[in-house]
Structures are given as structure tokens and as C-alpha cells.
Amino acid sequence: GMFEVRWVIHRSEHWHCSGWRQWLWVLQREDGRQEKAMMRVRAAILEQELEDIQIEARRIGRAPFVLQIGAMDGVGHDHMHPFIKSGTWRGLFVEPLKDYFDALQENYRSLGEEGALMFANKCIAESSGRRTMHRLA
């Protein structure tokens, strides 16, 4: 027979620090179960600026350079990834967490000419010394 399903949709929206606009949709079923869906899109303004930099660099015969602090794995939450993946950018990628750093190097291993991409498994701080790193889940 026929039955009715009621949904309550809760939406939260925020800008991720990497330039992604992100929405979390939580669907609350009448029976109490929840379903979640994440939708992310890159911030159009940021993407346009990076494209403009790439076009200008090409026009003057230079490779654009990026310094990325907290590069993570170079893919997730990373607005630079499509540009770096093009193989025309140069850069220095700093990532303190070893597992992310290893993934970062692996993800960018075969891109660009020799020495175009540099990697540092370091933490940036106001003074030298050891620090405790916290990972957000």
C-alpha cells in the first residue's frame, strides 16, 4: 500500500579555508534515521584569480609559483590541485604531518620538471623548537 515519508532537511553552509564552498545536508527521516550528504564547489572568484595568474605567467614566459603552508595530501580540500596537476606551476609545499606529507609527495611525484616542486616535512611556528601537533577529526 501507500505510505508517507517525511523529510526534514537541515542545511549548513560555510567557506572552507582552502577556498571551497561547502554545504552539509542532513536529511532526517520520520523514523529517526539520518542521511548526510556533502556538496563542495570551488569558490569561483578564487579559481578565476588563479587562472588569471596562470595566463599572465604564460604570457610573460614564467611559471607561476605557489608557497603552500599546510599542504596536507595536495588533493583533499586543495584549490591548487588542478593547477599544480597541469604541470606548469612551481612551488614549495610544507606539511608537518608525516602521513599527509608522504601522500603529498606521492600525489605530485611525477608532475612538472625536475626541481619544480619542492617539499618540506616541517612545521611553521613563531620560534624554533618542538611542538605538539593536534589533528582535527
d(CA 67, CA 5): 50
d(CA 9, CA 28): 6
State the pLDDT at residue 104. Answer: 96
Average pLDDT over residues 3-28: 55
8 Å CB contact between 91 and 84: yes
State the pLDDT at residue 25. Answer: 65
Q: Give tens-digit pLDDT for 91-118.
A: 999 999 999 999 999 999 888 678 899 9
8 Å CB contact between 35 and 5: no
Indicate the pLDDT class of residue 20, thresholds 50, 70 and 90.
low
6 has a pLDDT exceeding 60: no
State the pLDDT at residue 96. Answer: 92
d(CA 83, CA 110): 14
Question: Kind and range of the H or E element at 53?
Answer: helix 44-59
Average pLDDT over residues 112-133: 86
Q: What is the pTM of this model?
A: 0.66
Indicate the pLDDT class of residue 7, thresholds 50, 70 and 90.
very low
Average pLDDT over residues 3-14: 48
- C-beta neighbour count of 120 within 10 angstroms: 14
Closest CA to 123 of 100, 97, 91, 92: 97
> Beta 90-94 vs 65-69: how paired, if at all?
parallel
State the pLDDT at residue 100. Answer: 94
d(CA 18, CA 76): 9
Q: Give tens-digit pLDDT for 66-93.
A: 999 999 999 987 888 888 988 889 999 9
